[in-house]
Amino acid sequence: MADHQGYFIEDLTVGIAEEVSNAVTDTMIEQFAGVSGDDNPIHLDEDYAANTMFKGRIAHGMLGASFISAVIGTRLPGPGAVYMSQSLKFRAPVRIGDVVVTRAEVAEIDLEKKRVTLRTTCTVSGKAVIEGEALVMVPSRA
Residues 6+ apart with CB under 8 A from 90: 61, 64, 129, 130
* Residue-range definition of the domain harbouring residue 21: 9-137
Q: Decide if 16 contacts 118 (C-beta within 8 A).
A: no
CA distances from 84 to 8, 39, 77, 118, 130 (A): 16, 27, 13, 11, 18
Dihedral sign of CA atoms 117, 121, 126, 127 in order: negative
Question: Would you write out the chain's pLDDT as a tens digit for each of its 142 residues?
Answer: 445 788 999 999 999 999 999 999 999 999 999 999 999 999 999 999 999 999 999 999 999 999 999 999 999 999 999 999 999 999 999 999 999 999 999 999 999 999 999 999 999 999 999 999 999 999 998 8
The enclosing domain of 133 has a CATH number of 3.10.129.10
pTM of the model: 0.92
Q: What is the spatial distance between Cα 139 and Cα 132, in angstroms, rounded to a whole number?
A: 23
Residue 83 has phi, psi (to 5 degrees) of: -70, 120
- Is residue 55 domain-resident? yes
In a domain, 76, yes or no: yes
Q: Residue 63 and residue 123: Cα distance in Å, rounded?
A: 13
Q: How many domains does the chain have?
A: 1
